[in-house]
Amino acid sequence: MKQQKISTLQTLFTVTSTVYAVGIVSLPRTIVEQTQTPDVWQGLLLASLLGAGVVFINVKLCRRFPGKTFYEINPVIAGKFIGLLINIAFIVYCTMICSLVTRMMAEFLKALALEKTPLSMILLPFLLLIGYLTSGGIHAMVRLVELFFPLTFIVFLLLIILNINHFDLDNLRPVFHNGWDPIFKSLKVVPFSTLGFESMLILTNFMAHPQKAWKAGGSGYSIAMGLYLLMVTMVIGCMSVEEVSRLQWPVVSFAQQIEFPGSFLERFEIFFIILWTIKIFMTAANYYFYLVAGISQLTKKWNKYIYYLPLLFIFAVSMYPQNFIQIGKLNEMTGYLGIIICAAIPLLLLVISIIFHRKSKPDGQSKKVT
C-alpha cells in the first residue's frame, strides 16, 4: 500500500474533496442561530485561516519523518504506548466522521426523495460502495476524485452565479454591529464544517513529491473553504438572516430560487443534490481510507477483511442517533474531538520533535539530531 504514489494535483483534489461537505446544506442556519446577526462570514473566515495553519503544522510534522504516516510517527515521538493510544483515537475519530457523514446524507435523501425508504436501506449500499472503492487502494480513490471534482466545482459555481440577481448587500449589513462576540459564538458550530486539514497527516506519505505537500494541502484546503465562505455569504445575502433561520436546509432553498426563462430546467436543485451526494461519497470514502490505512499499519495486514469489517461499526454508529438533536450532539462532540486529535496533538508532537531533535533520515530510520 505504501508503494502507491499520487501526484501533487491529485493530493490537492483529495484534500478539497475531504473537507467536510455534508454540513454546508445547513451551515448558514446553524451559524445564524448562534450569531443572530448578518456577521456570519467573519467566523467562518477566521476558522478557515486557523484550519490553513493546522494544515501547515501537519505537513511540517510529516516532513520531519519522510516515508512515515501519522500512525507511524506517533510511537517514534510519544513512545509505543501513548503512540498506540493516539492512533486508536484517530481511528475512532475517522469512524465517527464516516458515521455522521453517511447518517446525515441518508436523512437528507430520505426527507427530499426517499420518504418511505428505511434509513438502513439507504446506508447499506452507500457503505458497501465505499468498501469496494477502498479495496482498490488510493489510486482508485484519487481517480474517482479527479473524475468528479471538475463537475462538482462547476455546479457549485453555477449555483452561485445563477443566484446573483437575488443578492442584496443590505442583507449583510450592519457589519460588526455587535462587535466580536457573535463571531466568537459562531466558532462553536463552525469547527465540524472546517475539518479536513488532517488529510495531510496521511496523504503526505503517499505523495510522489512530498516536498510539495504544503502547496497541495494549503491550496486544496483554501479552495474548499473559499467556496464554503462564498456559499454562506451568498445564501445570507440572497435570503436574509430571518429567512435562513427558519429553514432546515437553506442551501437547498437557495438552489430552488434559480429560475430559467420559458420554464426550462425548473428543478436546478436536483443537480445540486446529485452532485452534493457524490461529494459526500468522496468525503466518506477518503475518511474510510484513512481509517483502513491505520488498521492496516497497526495490524501489518492489508486484505479483503480490512476493507469491509469496519463498515459494521460505522453502520452501527450511524444508526445510533434517534433524532436530529442526538445527531447534532454527536456532530458537535466529533468536531471538538477532531480539533484535539488532528490539530492540538500534531502541534504538541511537532513541538516535542523539535525540542528533542527527533526526525527521520530519508530512508525512514529515526534519529536524534544534535
| Residue 267 main-chain phi, psi, to 5 deg | -110, 70
Q: What is the pTM of this model?
A: 0.86
Cis bond before residue 174 (omega within 30° of 0): yes
Over its length of 370 residues, how does the chain's per-residue pLDDT go in tens digits? Answer: 556 788 888 888 888 888 865 667 677 777 777 777 777 777 778 888 888 888 899 999 988 888 788 888 888 888 889 989 999 999 999 998 888 888 888 887 887 777 788 888 888 888 888 888 888 778 888 888 888 888 888 888 888 888 888 888 887 777 777 767 777 777 776 666 677 888 888 888 888 888 888 888 888 888 888 888 888 888 888 887 888 878 777 877 777 777 665 555 566 677 777 877 888 888 888 889 888 888 887 877 666 666 778 888 899 888 888 877 787 788 778 878 888 888 899 999 999 988 876 666 655 455 544 3
Cell of 90: 484517530
Helix (H) or strand (E) holding 83: helix 80-112
Q: How far apart are alpha carbons 148 and 280 in whole angstroms? A: 12
Q: How far apart are alpha carbons 119 and 109 in whole angstroms? A: 9
The pLDDT value recorded for residue 369 is 41
Amino acid identity for residue 144 in this structure: L
The pLDDT value recorded for residue 90 is 92
CA 47 to chain centroid:
14
Q: How far apart are alpha carbons 323 and 119 in whole angstroms? A: 12
The pLDDT value recorded for residue 85 is 92
The residues, any chain, with a CB within 8 Å of residue 74's CB and separated by 6 or more, are 82, 83, 84, 86, 87, 349
Q: How far apart are alpha carbons 370 and 62 in whole angstroms? A: 20
DSSP annotation string for 230-282: HHHHHHHHHHHHHHHTT-SSHHHHHHHT---GGGTT--THHHHHHHHHHHHHH
Q: How far apart are alpha carbons 349 and 262 in whole angstroms? A: 60
Work out the end-to-end distance of the chain between its first and last CA atoms, rounded to an integer number of angstroms: 33
Is the Cβ–Cβ distance between 156 and 231 less than 8 Å?
yes
Which long-range contacts does 222-228 make (Cβ < 8 Å, 24+ apart)? 222/48, 222/52, 223/12, 223/16, 224/15, 224/16, 224/17, 224/19, 224/196, 225/19, 225/44, 225/48, 225/51, 225/52, 225/194, 226/48, 227/153, 227/156, 228/19, 228/24, 228/27, 228/44, 228/48, 228/193
Is the Cβ–Cβ distance between 62 and 70 less than 8 Å?
yes
Is the Cβ–Cβ distance between 203 and 11 less than 8 Å?
yes
List of E strands, the chain:
358-360, 366-368
Is the Cβ–Cβ distance between 180 and 4 less than 8 Å?
no
The residues, any chain, with a CB within 8 Å of residue 23's CB and separated by 6 or more, are 30, 104, 192, 193, 331
Distances (CA, A) of 49 to 158, 213, 217, 335: 25, 18, 13, 17
The pLDDT value recorded for residue 22 is 60
The pLDDT value recorded for residue 370 is 34
Which residue carries 442583507 as its cell?
A: 171
The residues, any chain, with a CB within 8 Å of residue 314's CB and separated by 6 or more, are 95, 98, 99, 102, 127, 288
Name the residue among 307, 268, 346, 321 with its Cα closest to residue 54.
346
Rg of the chain over Cα atoms, rounded to whole angstroms, equals 21
